[in-house]
Structure 1
Amino acid sequence: MNETYSCDVSIVIPVYNEQENLPDLVARVSAAMTPSGFSFELICVDDGSRDDSAQVLAGLAASTPWLKPRYLMRNYGQTAALQAGFDAVQGRYTVTLDGDLQNDPLDIPQLIRTLEQRSDINMISGWRKDRQDAAVNRKIPSMIANRLIAKVTGVELHDYGCALKAYRTELIRSIRLYGELHRFIPVLAFEAGAKILEVPVRHHARTRGVSKYGIDRTFRVVLDLLLMKFMLRYLHRPLHAFGGVGLWMLVPGLGICAYLAVLKLLGENIGGRPLLLLGVMLVLMGAQLIAIGLLGEILIRIYHEPEGREQYRLRPPPQIN
């Protein structure tokens, strides 16, 4: 089914305590998009800001027809704010960037032109090649996280954290964001079958407001990375993940218990042996993990079958030269 779009480009920007940057942000988006020839809308999602960001957005929207703010009831986090913006897009292409003026809206038209010229590309991810941030609390944690994510997921990008990204909107419709998975959008897109192109983009130092990121973010990335690895490899076959580990525990546990049972039959006292505790523990843990895997298989079928959800996505036939 062909989807109807009301404009060419939807620009989604999560906003949290950026009242000082918002007037300049809207002006820069206008300066970048108005001469480009693309029709556009700007969806700024106020993520429960504690300053006057919501009031500033409302005032700007009153005189700017293409500015369409959304206001969340409380601070849900960047992932939920992005999803709220994605749910509202009406353009053929969707672009995301941060509201701190470090991303340059002047890069947006070229990203869209690249998507129009490259029919084989579904997503363009920005690369802050000349990043203007402090080395200790931003660059170093980001470098560690980028290398770790690329190694574990197999999606080779230099800069997962760059908010400036452009998508075909049909790709956005096929993925959902939960928790703090906004930094893993390229991985989710890859899992959905997207082809991703990474291009260098401009980056500016923050001049107003306060950064919301710190070195603790790297540790949260590790936890989210475990989820991404599971989703990429075992989402549709959870028994292979849990059952595999369960068998590695169950088989040695049964072997230990069988060995001790033979000793018991031969008249030896096995009640005080630590080996007995180890064997029983391995059997119980292995059986529980296998049971969790079986429940996961049932849940996957419950998820897909009642509403006819496919475990796959089709792509258009290749163009014949």
Structure 2
Amino acid sequence: MAALSASTLDSEITKSDKYSILLPTYNERENLPIIIWLIIKYMDPSGFDYEVIVIDDGSPDGTLEVAKQLQKIYGPQRIVLRPREKKLGLGTAYIHGIKHATGNFIVIMDADLSHHPKFIPDFIELQQEHDYDLVSGTRYARGGGVYGWDFKRKLISRGANFLTQMLLRPGASDLTGSFRLYKKDVLQKLIDCCVSKGYVFQMEMIIRARQLDYTIGEVPITFVDRVYGESKLGGSEIFQFAKALLYLFATT
């Protein structure tokens, strides 16, 4: 039997990869059908094997019922439902999703249409090209941007990111973004290391990745403010961010 060439072997490895896209949801009944449709629109032609895991935290607006209808349309192999009884936090949602993920790569993104699924194939291609441990979408690199925010929110975001860069030297341009691709085992290790919850969880993930010498790639993305529903960012999240920033500065 002839030996496989390096290019053939690489092709077989690529084909065996599977991507589990985690969608934590809370009151996203208007956005969920659109984000699912967009994921399928851009992932099906790419040829990559994938599943979408919807993790609904007991949404009172009927998000889970909408998810069940979408599962009937697209099939249980494509749309996997793993609901929880109540809102338990973003970090625990990822832990819950990983337990049920059959892919060896995990994509995390928001379900509110702020993250466009058209960037997912770009994440995958960059990861495959350089074998990065994680690939992060960035709003702050050339080609990236934010749409739909007023000047005040843009100023707060830019200011927070600048302060974080100065204090923590993270080796990544966008710490608070939540649109990323991870090797499954890397994501599990980072979650195990993190102590933060909620909004600042994403920031700590990047800092811990730097500590553990994981390689990080970046893809410029355009972030669009939600169209339907209410933003979950408020005064308490800003306070948590400042508190976590000081904690990470003191401990890393």
Residue 140 (structure 1) shift: 2.2
Q: Do residues 171 (structure 1) and 186 (structure 2) align?
A: yes
Q: Do residues 194 (structure 1) and 214 (structure 2) align?
A: yes
Residues 133/215 of structure 1: CA separation in 2 closer, same or farther (3 Å cut): farther
Return the alpha-carbon distance in structure 2 between the equivalents of residues 183 and 160 of structure 1.
5
Residue 201 (structure 1) shift: 1.2
Return the alpha-carbon distance in structure 2 between the equivalents of residues 133 and 158 of structure 1.
21
Return the alpha-carbon distance in structure 2 between the equivalents of residues 231 and 91 of structure 1.
33
Q: Percent identity?
A: 28
User: Structure with the greater relative contact order (CA < 8 A, sep ≥ 6): 1 or 2?
Assistant: 2
Residue 137 (structure 1) shift: 5.4
Give the length in aligned residue pairs.
227
State the match for 1:59 in structure 2.
69
Larger Rg: 1
Q: Do residues 24 (structure 1) and 34 (structure 2) align?
A: yes
Q: 8 Å contact 1:125–1:196 — kept in the other structure?
A: yes
**Match of 1:68, SS?**
strand
2:205 to 153, 170, 185: 185
Return the alpha-carbon distance in structure 2 between the equivalents of residues 142 and 82 of structure 1.
24
State the match for 2:24 in structure 1.
14
State the match for 2:124 in structure 1.
112
Per-residue CA deviation, residues 136-156 of structure 1 (Å, 9 max, x unaligned), is 553222222212222222203
Per-residue CA deviation, residues 217-256 of structure 1 (Å, 9 max, x unaligned), is 2221121223333442xxxxxxxxxxxxxxxxxxxxxxxx
Q: Do residues 44 (structure 1) and 54 (structure 2) align?
A: yes
TM-score (norm 1): 0.65
Runs of 4+ in 1 over 6 A off after TM superposition: none
State the match for 1:103 in structure 2.
115
State the match for 2:147 in structure 1.
132
Q: 8 Å contact 1:32–1:105 — kept in the other structure?
A: yes
Q: 8 Å contact 2:137–2:219 — kept in the other structure?
A: yes
Return the alpha-carbon distance in structure 2 between the equivalents of residues 116 and 191 of structure 1.
23
Residue 43 (structure 1) shift: 1.0
Residues 188/52 of structure 1: CA separation in 2 closer, same or farther (3 Å cut): same
Residue 209 (structure 1) shift: 1.5
State the match for 1:210 in structure 2.
230
State the match for 2:12 in structure 1.
none
Q: 8 Å contact 2:175–2:202 — kept in the other structure?
A: no
Residue 165 (structure 1) shift: 0.8
Structure 2, gaps ≥5 residues long = 1-14
Q: Do residues 123 (structure 1) and 134 (structure 2) align?
A: yes
Return the alpha-carbon distance in structure 2 between the equivalents of residues 169 and 127 of structure 1.
20
Residues 53/6 of structure 1: CA separation in 2 closer, same or farther (3 Å cut): farther
Q: 8 Å contact 2:57–2:86 — kept in the other structure?
A: yes
Return the alpha-carbon distance in structure 2 between the equivalents of residues 28 and 111 of structure 1.
16
Residue 95 (structure 1) shift: 0.9
TM-score (norm 2): 0.82
Q: 8 Å contact 1:97–1:163 — kept in the other structure?
A: yes
Residues 118/206 of structure 1: CA separation in 2 closer, same or farther (3 Å cut): same
Structure 1, gaps ≥5 residues long = 233-321
Return the alpha-carbon distance in structure 1 between the equivalents of residues 232 and 101 of structure 2.
25
**Match of 1:152, SS?**
helix
Q: 8 Å contact 1:6–1:91 — kept in the other structure?
A: no
**Match of 1:185, SS?**
helix
Q: 8 Å contact 1:146–1:157 — kept in the other structure?
A: no
State the match for 1:89 in structure 2.
101
Return the alpha-carbon distance in structure 2 between the equivalents of residues 22 and 6 of structure 1.
28
**Match of 2:45, SS?**
helix
**Match of 1:13, SS?**
strand
Residues 172/27 of structure 1: CA separation in 2 closer, same or farther (3 Å cut): same
Residues 136/50 of structure 1: CA separation in 2 closer, same or farther (3 Å cut): farther
Q: Do residues 72 (structure 1) and 84 (structure 2) align?
A: yes
